[in-house]
Amino acid sequence: MPEPSTPSSPSSVPPADLSFEKRWFLDGIVSGLPLAAPALPFGFVVGFLVSESANINNFTGWASAFIVFAGSSQLAAVELLADNASALVIIFTVFLINSRHIMYSAAMNPRFTGAPTWFRILGSYLLIDQSFALAENQPDDMALRDRMWSFLGTGLTFWVVWQTAVGLGVVLGNVIPEEWSLTFSVPILFMGLMVLSIKNRPGVIAAIVGGVVAFATRDFPQGTGLLLAIILGVIAGTLAETRLKADLAETASTS
């Protein structure tokens, strides 16, 4: 007499197929290329500042591009180091700029539930503004395997572009005439953030306020001008967001 069958235990369930998916990896590369173009001038500025700084070794400065892989904070850190800013100002500035990645990680977590540990580590490293935006726009019912390899294709595209741009800035920085000195690198940083923030009005306001303040305070000592620009930009964006929500609530109540 045959033995009665027993339900399969969770441990006996075969793991999902998460092997390399060429189609979606290439799709991630193609999707990322248009957004990677604006990173070229920013990376070049970082490399240029490294080559011009007496406080940063060229190799160390270039290596920070792949150790950190966070363009805005890297540009700010290099600028502040060149200005002999205190360690406290540098750390606090970098923390403020990168704090948005906490929100990014929380938003991405449901989309990559079930992903292996190696992907979570590598994916966290490749998580930047552009890769987050593209991943957020993908369909909710997209398969985990396809989502993973698309994200990696996008992230690696930005990584290669950024390393190349910073390297070119370091190499070519020594041959650029002194009259071309990029003294407006900090305002350029905020202009770039403004481009990324055009998706909503509060983001644009925050970036504009930050850029204007950064330009006006570019000669402040110890990098305090950049720190002030970040703080005022965040305050302006928060106030604009609060006002926008109030306007929308009022419109909804009167309609």
Distances from the Cα of 129 to the Cα of 32, 114, 124, angstroms: 11, 23, 12
The helix-helix angle for 58-68 and 39-52 (nearest 10°) equals: 150
The answer to whether the predicted template modeling score (pTM) of the entire model surpasses 0.85 is no
Distances from the Cα of 139 to the Cα of 22, 120, 135, 136, 195, angstroms: 19, 20, 9, 8, 24
Burial 27-57 (b: 16+ CB within 10 A, else e): bbbebbeebbebbeebbbbbbbbbbbbeebe
User: What pLDDT is recorded for position 9?
Assistant: 47
Write the single-letter amino acid at 40: L
Q: Which segments of the chain have a pLDDT < 70?
A: 1-15, 174, 176-200, 203, 221-224, 226-227, 255
List CB contacts of 9: < 8 A, sequence separation 6 or more: none
Which residue is associated with the tokens 């929500």?
245
Q: Which two tokens stand for residue 150?
A: 């698309």
Up-side HSE of residue 221: CA atoms within 13 Å toward CB?
Answer: 0
User: What pLDDT is recorded for position 63?
Assistant: 87
List CB contacts of 2: < 8 A, sequence separation 6 or more: none
Determine contact, residues 82/52, Cβ cutoff 8 Å. Answer: yes
Which residue is associated with the tokens 């173009």?
37
User: What pLDDT is recorded for position 4?
Assistant: 53
User: What pLDDT is recorded for position 150?
Assistant: 95
Domain boundaries, the chain: 20-86+100-176, 183-248
For residues 44 and 124, give the distance between their C-alpha atoms in angstroms, rounded to a whole number. 24
User: What pLDDT is recorded for position 224?
Assistant: 66
User: What pLDDT is recorded for position 13?
Assistant: 45
User: What pLDDT is recorded for position 181?
Assistant: 53
Tens-digit pLDDT profile for residues 7-59: 544 444 456 778 888 999 999 999 888 888 777 877 888 888 888 777 788 88
